[in-house]
């Protein structure tokens, strides 16, 4: 059996259903073997970079290993950005790249590149396999590393002759299973004692609470403390919960900022699943833990003490740490409060729809007419700040916001990965014209696989985030930031997709939007709108407007 076939059999046994990428000469052996493996569907994208973000989103929402493939040379290097993203998001993605035959290494073969050292800084493990007999073991080793400890991406480069090499019968390794990271019991007990003796505190929830929202809520109701979420954690906790004070950080809410910036004697700060990076902390706001007894829970020890001093770091899986802490608090006599007993927390002011044709009204109109359980994958652009600040969280896990390492266009790709991972949930991609010009051709990928996704393109004919950033920082913008207006709906129509272009708020009426509630395939909705309002970026506005002064 060919070495490539052994790899695919192992991946099939590991529960892999999709491989994202693009076929080309140096990976032809792998794709040829897929003819005989209907259990694995190749998702052929228009760009390798898009494939890498699809694979990451799939890993996130399917909660399992994802696989992405690219050819030697430029095909492989196009995957590096997505690997860096998966590393930042702690997502188990196996990146496979092709390579030139071993007997041509060093001879300037077409697309020759030693990819292993290029991937090494942005993966947990990166290797080139030189002999067919070692392929299966190396792939299995890489997958084990990907799913273990702090999950993350891995990379295996397979020269085409190594893929095609015949291998004697070998037993397939067992699928990799992650061993839970159990927190230290004495540490949890000490945390419980410290929190229980403090009457007041704030819970700051980051993206690490994914999958542990019920435990987070139970803990908050035991302590009766307000919860602020980071921008990337928006969507995990619905806004109707009495203790949810909104988003703190980039484009966050005044209600959350007020909690953080108000000093209260003997107050605690419990950080759960956040690395406390720039966007989560409003540009490293010193008030975050000033005068506060600080506890930080995470499964990644490298996040402790990076910028903020932590009194007690708790290393362990978030779900286990929360469960054990809840048990300890109950043992100390704390009881869960009923909804009527919970403290009154200042909450973000809901936006009231007006007649003005602007970004916040567009998003309010969209959300009021689309299904409540819609998942929004949010691209990188000025519109992202409006999403964070104004859109409502009415159902859990409803926003995919990537300010960690999201590339322009990644929200388009993430929508496809999310839909494949969770087919029953409605998915809407919120993107911009600049993002669309980077990875917009992936709407064809959605069409070819008949994925019912609504792609909403905010078209202001300029690089909006750059435009506003320069205006705030330098009081001027370069003419090149504006682009020639392009009818994106007409582009989509030329690709055979249902497409619509609106240029007024009246166009976004309920009857019109209800037509997108039950899609049979992808559709493109272009919003032609140039909004000159300063985006609601919170302290980022102050930072940019005062930078260098």
Residue 456 forms part of a structural domain: yes
Does 490 reside within a domain? yes
Which domain range does residue 371 map to? 359-546
290 and 401 fall within a common domain: no
In a domain, 347, yes or no: no
Per the CB < 8 A criterion, the answer to whether 231 and 205 are in contact is no
**CATH assignment of the domain containing 98:** 3.40.50.970
Q: Are residues 432 and 524 in the same domain?
A: yes
SS3 percent helix, strand, coil of the chain, rounded to 5, is: 40, 15, 40
Residue 245 phi/psi, 5-degree rounding, is -95, 5
On whether both 197 and 313 belong to a single domain, the answer is: yes
Q: Among the three residues 164, 198, 231, which one is the final residue of a domain in this structure?
A: 164
Q: Tell me the C-alpha to C-alpha distance, in Å, between residue 90 and each of 170, 173, 380, 541.
A: 31, 24, 20, 30
- Which pLDDT does position 485 carry in this prediction? 87
**What confidence tens digit (pLDDT) does each residue in 88-114 have?**
999 999 999 999 987 888 887 888 899
Cβ–Cβ < 8 Å for 151, 300: no
pLDDT at position 463 is 60
What order do you get walking across the sheet with 267-272 strand by strand? 244-247, 227-229, 201-205, 267-272, 292-298, 312-315
DSSP for 511-528, written as a single string: HHHHTTTT-SS-EEEEEE
Which pLDDT does position 466 carry in this prediction? 63
Please tell me the distance from the alpha carbon of residue 517 to that of residue 430, in angstroms, as a whole number: 15
Residues contacting 337, CB < 8 A, separation 6+: 221, 222, 224
- Residue 157 and residue 20 share a domain: yes
In a domain? residue 171: no
Which residues does the chain have with pLDDT short of 70? 461-472, 480-481, 538-549
Residue 49 and residue 151 in one domain: yes
Cα torsion through 249, 347, 206, 49, rounded to 10: -70
Residue 476 CB neighbours (<10 A): 7
Within 13 Å, how many C-alpha atoms sit on residue 285's CB side? 21
Are residue 438 and residue 482 in the same domain, yes or no? Answer: yes
pLDDT in tens, 339-382: 778 898 999 988 889 999 999 999 999 999 999 999 999 999 88
* Domain count for the chain: 3
Are 392 and 364 members of one domain? yes
Q: Are residues 190 and 324 in the same domain?
A: yes
Residues 81 and 49 sit within 8 Å (Cβ to Cβ): yes
Do residues 220 and 141 share a domain? no
Domain containing 326 — which CATH number?
A: 3.40.50.1220
Could you tell me if residue 25 is inside a domain?
yes
Helices marked H in 156-208: 160-164, 185-196
Distance, in Å, from the CA atom of 46 to the CA atom of 49, rounded to the nearest integer, reads 9
Q: Dump pLDDT digits (tens) for 149-172.
A: 999 999 999 999 999 999 988 899
Q: Mark whether 103 and 14 lie in a shared domain.
A: yes
On whether residue 175 sits in a domain, the answer given is no
Interatomic CA distance for residues 362 and 488, integer angstroms: 18
Q: In terms of domains, do 214 and 309 share one?
A: yes
Tell me which of 341, 368, 386 is where a domain ends: 341
Please give the full DSSP string across 318-382, using - where no structure is assigned.
Answer: HHHHHHHHHHHHHHTT--PPPGGGSPP---PPPPPP-SS-SHHHHHHHHHHHS-TTPEEEE-SSH
Query: Residue 83 corresponds to which tokens in the numbers above?
Result: 């690997």
d(C-alpha 125, C-alpha 116), whole Å = 9
| Domain contains 176 | no
- Whether 223 and 83 map to the same domain: the answer is no
Nearest residue to 26 via CA among 192, 204, 199, 164: 164
56, containing H or E segment: helix 48-62
Query: pTM, whole model, 2 decimals?
Result: 0.94
Q: Kind and range of the H or E element at 244?
A: strand 244-247
Question: Is residue 177 one of the residues assigned to a domain?
Answer: no
């Amino acid at each position: 059996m060919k070495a490539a076939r052994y790899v695919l059999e192992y991946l099939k046994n590991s529960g892999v259903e999709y491989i994202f990428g693009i076929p080309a000469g140096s990976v032809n052996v792998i794709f040829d073997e897929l003819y005989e493996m209907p259990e694995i569907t190749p998702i052929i994208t228009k760009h390798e970079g898009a494939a890498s973000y699809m694979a990451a989103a799939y890993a996130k929402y399917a909660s399992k290993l994802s696989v992405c493939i690219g050819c030697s040379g430029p095909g492989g290097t196009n995957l590096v950005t997505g690997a860096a993203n998966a590393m930042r998001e702690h997502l188990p993605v196996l990146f496979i790249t092709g390579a030139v035959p071993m007997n041509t290494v060093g001879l300037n073969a077409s697309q020759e590149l030693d990819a292993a050292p290029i991937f090494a800084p942005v993966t947990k493990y990166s290797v080139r396999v030189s002999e067919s007999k070692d392929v299966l073991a190396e792939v299995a080793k890489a997958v084990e590393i990907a799913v273990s400890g702090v999950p993350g991406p891995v990379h295996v480069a397979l020269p085409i002759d190594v893929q095609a090499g015949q291998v004697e019968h070998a037993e397939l390794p067992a699928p990799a299973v992650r061993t839970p990271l159990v927190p230290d019991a004495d540490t949890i007990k000490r945390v419980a004692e410290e929190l229980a003796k403090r009457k007041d505190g704030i819970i700051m929830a980051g993206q690490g609470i994914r999958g542990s929202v019920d435990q987070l809520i139970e803990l908050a109701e035991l302590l009766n403390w307000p919860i602020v979420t980071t921008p990337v954690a928006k969507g995990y906790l619905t806004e109707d919960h009495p203790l949810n004070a909104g988003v703190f950080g980039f484009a966050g809410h005044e209600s959350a900022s007020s909690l953080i910036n108000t000093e209260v004697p003997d107050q605690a700060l419990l950080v759960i699943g956040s690395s406390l990076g720039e966007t989560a902390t409003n540009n490293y706001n010193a008030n975050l833990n000033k005068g506060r007894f600080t506890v930080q829970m995470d499964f990644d020890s490298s996040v402790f003490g990076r910028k903020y001093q932590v009194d007690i770091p708790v290393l362990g899986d978030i779900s286990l740490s929360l469960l054990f802490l809840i048990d300890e608090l109950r043992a100390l006599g704390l009881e869960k409060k009923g909804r009527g007993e919970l403290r009154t927390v200042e909450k973000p002011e809901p936006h009231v729809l007006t007649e003005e044709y602007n970004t916040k009204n567009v998003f309010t109109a969209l959300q009021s007419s689309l299904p409540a359980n819609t998942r929004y994958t949010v691209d990188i652009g000025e519109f992202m700040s409006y999403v964070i600040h104004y859109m409502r969280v009415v159902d859990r896990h409803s926003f995919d916001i990537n300010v960690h390492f999201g590339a322009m266009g990644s929200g388009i790709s993430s929508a496809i990965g999310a839909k494949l991972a969770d087919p029953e949930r409605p998915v809407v991609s919120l993107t911009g014209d600049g993002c669309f010009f980077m990875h917009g051709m992936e709407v064809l990928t959605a069409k070819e696989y008949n994925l019912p996704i609504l792609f909403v393109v905010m078209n202001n004919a300029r690089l909006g985030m750059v435009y506003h950033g320069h205006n705030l920082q330098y009081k001027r913008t370069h003419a090149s930031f504006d682009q020639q207006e392009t009818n994106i709906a007409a582009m989509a129509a030329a690709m055979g997709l249902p497409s619509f272009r609106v240029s007024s708020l009246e166009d976004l009426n309920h009857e019109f939007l209800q037509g997108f509630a039950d899609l049979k395939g992808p559709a493109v909705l272009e919003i032609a709108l140039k909004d000159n309002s300063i985006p609601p970026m919170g302290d980022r506005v102050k930072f940019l407007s005062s930078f260098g002064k």
